[in-house]
Amino acid sequence: MDNFFTLRTVTWDNGTVRMIDQTALPNKFRYVRYTRSDQVAAAITTMVVRGAPAIGVAAGMGLALAAVHSKARALPDLLREMESAAALLRGTRPTAVNLFWGVDRMMKKANSATSVQEAKEALVAEARAMEDEDVEVNRRLGRSGADLIHDGDTVLTQCNAGALATVGYGTALGVVRAAVEQGKLVKVLVPETRPALQGARLTAFELVRDKIACTLISDTAVGHMMSLGRVDCVIVGADRITRDGFVFNKIGTYQEAVLAKRHQVPFYPAAPRSTFDLARSHQQVTIEERGASEVVQIRGRRIAPRGVPVANPAFDMTPPELVTSMITERGLVNAPFEENIPRLMS
């Protein structure tokens, strides 16, 4: 493990939150440091921090910042400030359920405190616990999926579901890491993941740094690679898995799942408990629509004519019939998902 990227994407550091600035990667590796919850909210919206588990922990830390830097002297005043910070954080990105999980977990702590001092201490402790748990949970998840990868396999992924999408170990790439730790030779096929290029910029960065064999491909090459038999399995992350087994993940995941079915390649979403939304079915999820500039430009350079209408859905939805098994820290979840998700993930 020591050979792998062990830096923390998001960390609590002495009354501040420190993050790796993912908008600068891979050209620059730099940290940013925040002391206010509105700064954390802006970091989530602009994708300084991104990836469902990482934004869940970041949102939790945003609330810890709101608490520790508050000048409120009475508990009801502190709680009012916390509510308004929570509302701002909840409004940053709609699809990843981990964001709401992180905010709700912190607000539950705040609401059970009996004094301002107690609330401040409890919220910092909770944020730090969320940070450490994320790494531990993803290591367990990685171990639970590693046997699905065989020596010599090529794994197709999508977006970045690695250390950078979590606090430290990764979900889909955590499974790859665990298989490599078992001594297997594993190669990862990395689609660039337009429009924000998390595959080209972040997944390729992590894998090159970790010395895990990888090949970067354009998103449009996925079907061709499958038809040539160059993909042994697909492992992707998830932003939300609903109780009826629908997997919401980065745009492009659904077409990978359809192609995987066509070519009899197993398709595995990998996600921790905090990504499962047992309260909702797929019809109740909002898919984030992001700005046109991500599509008409590549890294700030315009590639499409002015005035062209643009659609930019950031996520898509894969139905359960295209899923082989889901990899979680509690083990594999298999069909029928509508029965097994509530049973195993409650």
Q: Which residues bind ligand MRU (CB under 6 A)?
A: 50-53, 96, 159, 161, 165-166, 171, 198, 237-239, 249-250, 314
Instruction: Give the chain's length.
Output: 346
Q: Rounded to whole angstroms, what are the CA distances from 11 to 41, 127, 182, 278, 337?
A: 15, 9, 28, 28, 34
Shortest Cβ 50–ligand MRU spacing (Å): 3
3-class SS of residue 213: strand
Position 274, amino acid: S
Q: Which two tokens stand for residue 58?
A: 């970041």
Shortest Cβ 88–ligand MRU spacing (Å): 18
Shortest Cβ 256–ligand MRU spacing (Å): 11
Closest CA to 96 of 138, 140, 139, 58: 58
103 or 119: whose CB is closer to ligand MRU?
103
Whether residue 166 contacts residue 174, with contact meaning beta carbons closer than 8 Å, is answered with yes
For strand 213-217 and strand 331-333, is the pairing parallel, antiparallel, or unpaired?
A: unpaired
Could you give phi then psi for residue 215, rounded to 5 degrees? -135, 125
Q: What angle do CA 278, 84, 106 make, to 5 degrees?
A: 45
Q: Cis peptide before 272, with omega less than 30 degrees from 0? A: no
Shortest Cβ 314–ligand MRU spacing (Å): 5
Shortest Cβ 105–ligand MRU spacing (Å): 18
Shortest Cβ 195–ligand MRU spacing (Å): 10
3-class SS of residue 128: helix
Whether residue 72 contacts residue 113, with contact meaning beta carbons closer than 8 Å, is answered with no
Using Cβ positions, the residue closest to ligand MRU within the complex turns out to be 237
109 or 240: whose CB is closer to ligand MRU?
240
Q: Which two tokens stand for residue 64?
A: 């810890």
Write down the catalytic residue from 219, 239, 277, 316: 239
User: Is 239 an annotated catalytic residue?
Assistant: yes
Name the maximum alpha-carbon separation found in the chain: 66
Q: Which residues are catalytic?
A: 239
